[in-house]
A and B are shown apart, each in its own frame.
Chain A
Amino acid sequence: MSLTIRLAETLRQAGDSAKGHYVIRAVDVKKIYRMGDSETHALRGVTLDVRRGEYMSIMGPSGSGKSTFFNMIGGLDKPSAGKVYIDQVDIAQLDPYELAWLRCRKVGYIFQTFNLIQVMSCIENVTLPMAFAGKDSEEARDRALEILEMVGLRDRALHKPAEMSGGQQQRVAIARALANSPDILLADEPTANLDLRTGEEIIELFRKLRDTLGVTIITATHDLKMLKASDRIVWIDDGRLARISTPAEANIQLEEVH
C-alpha cells in the first residue's frame, strides 16, 4: 500500500510539477454532522491550497469549523463532500491502514496539551512513531537523539514528561512529531498552555524548522506572536473561508484582537 502511495505520488509529481508545489489541497470541503434528525454544517465548502514549506496559521472563533477543517487537512477526519489531498493523495480513498501510514510518516502532530505519553521517557516518546513506522530500535534511538539535539533537549533524553517544564514538554512533542521526517507539522494551539517567553521559544523553533527542514507548518492559534510569525493567516468563520491575508495586511485586526 505504501508503495502505491509513493508510486502515485511520484507519477503525479512528474506529470504535474505545479501541483507538487502544494502539500495540501482542500477543494470545496464540506462537513455535515448528523445527530438524529438535525444536521450541523461544520464546513460549507472550503477551498484552500497550502504551499510546501509554508508557515500558515488558521484562525476562527470557536464553533466556526476551524477545528473540523484543521482535523480534515491533518488526515484525522474525512470530508462529507469535496476533496482533501495531502501530498497529492485523496485521503477519502484511504483505508485505515493507509491512513495510519499517512499519519505516521506524512504528518507530525503537536497538541495544545503536549500529549506526551506519561509513562514513557522523553526518548521513548520520540522513538514511538518510529516503532510504528517499523524502524529498528538502534536506528530509532540514534535518530531520536539527533532530533532531541535539534530541539535542545538531548541531555534530558531519559527524563519523564512529569519532570519537565511545559516548554520542554512541548519541545519533546515537537521532536516526536519530527521523528519520521514528515512533510507537514500540524500544531493545535501549541503555545496556549505556555507562558509568553516559552511560547516565543516554540515559535522560534518552528521558524528554524521551517527554514532548515523545509517542513510545512500549519497551526490553529489565537497567539498574536504566532500569527505574526506566519506567512499567511487563514480566517474561518461559520464554516466558510472568510479571508486569507499576510500578517502585515492583518495588522489592524491583530490590534483589535489585542
Chain B
Amino acid sequence: MEQIGKQVRLPFRRALQIALSGIRIRFGRSLVTVSGVVLGIAFLMSNLTSQLIKQSIAQEAAQRNTVNLMLSLVKAEIGDVAGRRIAVATFGNLTAVEQLLLAQLKATADVREGAGATVRIVLGNQTNSPASLTTLTAGMSQSVVLDSLANRVYAGPTNGIRRELFFGTESAEQIAKQARQARADKFRNWWIVTISLLVTVFGVANALLMSVTERFREIGTMKCLGALSSFIRTLFLIESSLIGLAGSILGVILGALLPLVAYGFVYRFGLVFGTLPYGGLLGYAVMAVIVGTLLAVMAAIYPARFAARMVPAAALRSTV
C-alpha cells in the first residue's frame, strides 16, 4: 500500500519535467496549440481593453463637456473671465467636474481672495445655504453659484440669488435609448467572444488529441515501465495547462496592446494612457490568463482520458 502510494505521488515533478521537455522538443506543434489560445485570449482581452478605453474616454469627454458648458454659463452671466480678478469659494469635497472647472478658471483668470475682487464664484456641494451665500456674495458686483449636484447655476448681480439655470440634462427617452443600444452592443460583443473561446477550446482539444495519437507508443512504453493511468493523465493535463498559461499571457499582452495603439492613433496617446484605469486593466489581464488556462485544461480533459486509457501493448506495435 505504502509503496503504491509513493508510486502515485512521487512522479509529479517528473511529470512536469517530461511535459516541459515534451513541449520544448515538439516546439512546432506546441506553437500551433499555443497560438490557438493566444488568438482566443487576445480577442477576449482586446474586447475588454477596448471597453475600458472607450469608457474612460467617454467619461473624460463627458466631464470636459460639462465643464465647458458650466464655463460658458459663467461667461454668459459675468462676461469673459480671462485675466480678471475672481474670488472663488469652495464648500466640501469637489466633484471631478468641479475640480476640472476650478483648474480651468485658475488657468485663465486671476483667482485670488481679498480686496479688489469684484466677482465671486461659489463651488461645492453645500451651496444651498442662503445665509452663507448672502455673506459670500456681499460686496461683489457679480456672483455665480455653481451647484453641480443639483445641476444648477445660480447667479446674482450683488447679493441674493437672482435666477436658476439648467444645463447638461438629456431627456429620459434619449438615455433609455442609449442604454438599450449599449446593452445590445455588449450582448453581441460577448456572443462573439464566447464563440471565439469555444473555437479555441476545440482547437486545443484537437491539437492535443493529435499529440496523443502521435505519442501512443511513448504512452504505451511508459505504461509498460509501470506508469499508472493517472500519471499519463497528469502528464497531459500539465502539458495543456502550461500551454494555456503561456498562450494566455501572450494573448493578454497582444490583446491589450492592439486596442491601446489603435485608440492612441484615433485619439491621442496622452488621452488614452492618461485616462486608462490601470487597476481595472490589470484585473482584466489576470482574469483573462485564468480563463485561458482553465479553458486549455478543459480542452485537455478528453485527450488526457483518451491517453490514459491507451493499453500498454500499444508500445509493441511496430507500425504507426
Contacts and interface: CB of A to CB of B under 8 A. Distances in A.
Interface string A55-87: 000000000000100110000110000000000
B184 to A, nearest CB: 51
Given A119-B21, A120-B21, A76 B7 contact: no
B25 A103 contact: no
A198 interface: no
A109 B225 contact: yes
Contacts of A244: none
A101 B4 contact: yes
B1 A133 contact: no
B316 interface: yes
A76 B226 contact: no
B150 to A, nearest CB: 71
A71 B313 contact: yes
B163 interface: no
B32 to A, nearest CB: 18
Contact of B218 (A1, A104, A115, A180): A115
Contacts of B311: 76-77
Interface string B283-313: 0000000000000000000000000000111
Interface string B1-39: 101101100110010001001101100000000000000
A113 interface: yes
A22 B229 CA distance: 30
B226 A133 contact: yes
A97 B4 contact: yes
A154 B112 CA distance: 89
Contacts of A192: 318
A129 B316 contact: no
B221 A97 contact: no
Interface in B205-259: 217-218, 220-229, 231
Give the interface size bracket for A toward B. Answer: 35 or more
A111 B315 contact: yes
A5 to B, nearest CB: 10
Contact of A101 (B14, B22, B226, B316): B226
Given A134-B6, A188-B316, A96 B229 contact: yes
A176 interface: yes
B9 to A, nearest CB: 8
Interface in A82-124: 96-97, 100-101, 103-105, 109, 111-113, 115, 117-120
A248 interface: no
Contacts of A105: 226
Interface string B158-183: 00000000000000000000000000
Interface of A: 1-3, 67, 70-71, 76-77, 96-97, 100-101, 103-105, 109, 111-113, 115, 117-120, 128-129, 131-134, 176, 180, 188-189, 192
19 contacts: A71-B316, A76-B316, A77-B311, A96-B228, A101-B7, A103-B223, A105-B226, A109-B221, A109-B315, A111-B221, A115-B217, A115-B221, A117-B222, A118-B218, A119-B25, A120-B18, A132-B225, A133-B226, A189-B318
